[in-house]
Amino acid sequence: MSATTGPTAKERFDAAGRRVLSVCVAGGFTTLLDQSVLNTSIPALRETLHAGPADLQWIVAGYSLAFGLALIPGGRLGDVKGRKWFFVTGLALFTLVSLVSATATEPGVLIAARLLQGAGAGLVNSQMIGTLQDVFEGQLRARALGMYAVTGGLAFALGPPIGGAVLAAVGPEHGWRLTFLLNVPFGLATVVLAARHLPVPRPRARHTDLDPVGLLLVGALTLALMLPFVRPPGWTGWLAFAAAAVLLLGALAWWQQRYARTGGHPLIHPALTRSAPYALGTATAMAQFGSSLAASLVLTMFLQDGLGLSPMGAALVALPSAVAMGIASALAWRVVQRFGRRTVTAGMAGSALAMLASGLLAHGTPAAALPWLLALLQFLGGASIGLMGSTNQAYVLRHAPAEAAGVSGAILQMAQRIAAAVAVSALSGVYLRETAGGGGHRSAYLGTSLVCAAVAGLAVLASVLAGRATAREQGDGEPAALSRGRTPVR
């Protein structure tokens, strides 16, 4: 597709395609906005519910834990049984439990509600990527997946400004509750639209077995990887969880091979385990998502607790990230046409540099000038993520066979959620412990920013390796074929 002539008739969404895309985008925006909106509300929520650091880690990271646990089972169910009603069920659960979150009067109730919300969000998001891969082909598929990824990025970036505006309008005590209630009208409207416009359930897998043992092993492995970061144990606990994760990973690999030899259809499609670009692209997404989410949460706490900004003031510092992400996402595919997969690497490098610069500036810049400089760096970081986020997702998922579309997207998202639980829990816990006495905010923010930048640097390395693996796999080394409408690799 030329950058000057615009899309041809075959490259435009028809009316039915636009409706499906709109439903998926709305569902993704509603469920992914929830967590980023909550980031701004953490100080207010902490005071209202008298929540301790462990409670806050469960409230923030527990959502990602349940989200991650629901993804692969949800993706498998959608592949085998059809996606429409799993989408509707997941979104309905997420929406109704939002009411419980909004009316919680103690941390335990909110933690339980967040776990249920995460499970509903994981179920619905595992159907979205599969639905887009079912409905669209070639360039339209790439554009649809890109729009879904952009929506997730914008939800992530717009959350703090929206949360700040709500808290400023109604006050902190009721404002954090209202942020949960915002989910209800959007969720209910999307449930109705999904029941009306999503395609009739049609299994894509050429089999009906769910591989229940594989599902149980994946669930146990997800818990072993995520749970210690949601509620950090002692050293013996860390060793126990690490040993359990290694054993479960080995058991999963053994079972998948055995199940395939006996004529079954393993949970993780062989094409995914053999594809180096899929694995490295997933690693890139994992490091990017974890570092970005943790950096955003710690920045929000630093702006309010360390610099004394109001929730609205903190939101305004974060707003340029959303603006830049929207602009860069709209231009990303034109950049891809010219530079190919290097767009992902360059965008990730820009994000790492923005995180590094934020920490260094916060350590020695006068308080009056610091919010302005951080807002500028948020703009640069948002532009970087806008260039690489949707592009990387489309490159990763083009290596998935049609019968594993749901599971392939679920594995990608689960990896991101594991990264989110690990990064958010670990770095927010470090920040809260370092500032528990009321001081040390700048040093704590510098330390967490350096860690986020280092993780983002690992994403740069993974992206470089993914580009080389793609070149070897395709022979001509031209990953930009994605932007010209080539059918994704089967």
Q: What angle do CA 462, 463, 464 make, to 5 degrees?
A: 90
**Of 423 and 425, the one with more pLDDT:** 423
- C-beta of residue 139 within 8 angstroms of C-beta of residue 203: no
What pLDDT sits at residue 230?
66
Q: Is the pLDDT of residue 254 over 60?
A: yes
Give me 390's structure tokens.
């949707």
Share of the chain above pLDDT 70, in %: 90
What pLDDT sits at residue 488?
36
Gap between the Cα atoms of 219 and 227, Å rounded? 11
What pLDDT sits at residue 475?
59
Average pLDDT over residues 20-30: 89
| Residue 235 and residue 256 in one domain | yes
pLDDT digits (tens, 9 = 90+) for 156-172: 767 777 888 888 888 88
Nearest Cα to 133, choosing from 409, 329, 411? Answer: 409
| Residue 232 and residue 317 in one domain | no
Tally of structural domains, the chain: 2
**CA 5, 9, 10, 13: dihedral to nearest 10 degrees?**
100
Query: Is 409 inside any structural domain?
Result: yes
- C-beta of residue 236 within 8 angstroms of C-beta of residue 166: no
What pLDDT sits at residue 209?
66
| Residue 419 and residue 326 in one domain | yes
| Residue 252 and residue 385 in one domain | no
Residue type, 335: V
Gap between the Cα atoms of 408 and 457, Å rounded? 25
Query: Is 5 inside any structural domain?
Result: no
The DSSP secondary structure of 30-59, one letter per residue, reads HHHHHHHHHHHHHHHHHHHHT--HHHHHHH
Query: Is 207 inside any structural domain?
Result: no
| Residue 369 and residue 445 in one domain | yes
| Residue 125 and residue 231 in one domain | no
| Residue 271 and residue 259 in one domain | no
| Residue 259 and residue 287 in one domain | no
Positive or negative, the CA dihedral 423, 410, 323, 331 is positive
Query: Is 383 inside any structural domain?
Result: yes
The DSSP secondary structure of 122-139, one letter per residue, reads HHHHHHHHHHHHHH--HH
Domain boundary among 228, 250, 266: 266
- Calculate the average pLDDT of the chain: 82
Which CATH number belongs to the domain containing residue 95 in this structure? Answer: 1.20.1250.20
Query: Is 342 inside any structural domain?
Result: yes
Tell me the range of 250-264, 351-365, 432-446, 476-490 where mean pLDDT is highest: 351-365
| Residue 318 and residue 441 in one domain | yes
| Residue 193 and residue 216 in one domain | no
φ, ψ (nearest 5 deg) of residue 299:
-60, -45
Average pLDDT over residues 204-214: 70
| Residue 352 and residue 476 in one domain | yes
What pLDDT sits at residue 480?
41
Predicted model pTM: 0.74
Query: Is 6 inside any structural domain?
Result: no
Gap between the Cα atoms of 101 and 112, Å rounded? 9
Q: Is the pLDDT of residue 4 over 60?
A: no
Query: Is 2 inside any structural domain?
Result: no
| Residue 119 and residue 43 in one domain | yes
Query: Is 490 inside any structural domain?
Result: no
What pLDDT sits at residue 447?
92
The DSSP secondary structure of 464-489, one letter per residue, reads HHHHHHHHHHHSS--GGGGGGTPPPP
**Of 187 and 406, the one with more pLDDT:** 187
Q: Is the pLDDT of residue 477 over 80?
A: no
pLDDT digits (tens, 9 = 90+) for 102-138: 999 888 899 999 999 999 998 998 888 788 888 887 6
Range of the domain at 237: 212-266
Q: What is the C-alpha R_g of the chain?
A: 21
